[in-house]
Structure 1
Amino acid sequence: MFRSPLIEDKIRNVNRLHRELKIYFPEYMSAFRKIDGAFTLEVLKEVAFSSDIVALGTDGLKNI
């Protein structure tokens, strides 16, 4: 009874995230395969722009 609305909300929110990323950060979708994965969401929390990801480099991404 409670699971169905939660699943619908999750799907709706992931779709919104997809839409916003396509508009503001189109490279992100090609760099990360699973948009709602734990690592992907942590990267989004840490950096807001693609230039920030480049500035982090591979070592910075490993630390996230």
Structure 2
Amino acid sequence: MSILIALAVLSAVAVACTIVTLIRDGYRPVRTDGTRLPDAAPRQSTPSGSPCGSGQDASIARR
């Protein structure tokens, strides 16, 4: 019985320490400075249902 009580106390301490660590860790969303981002080229989208590698590249790979 004493082992069960010790395990329950250890579990309670672990949960409490986890909660304290999550509160103190300082993880918060940080805004991105848009002026530091590189200029991105527009993406070319593929038609629905076709794989990205379809077209001329796929015909060369089949030969």
Which category of TM-score, normalised to the shorter sequence, fits these structures?
A: 0.3 to 0.5
More helix by share: 1
TM value normalised by structure 2: 0.39
TM value normalised by structure 1: 0.39
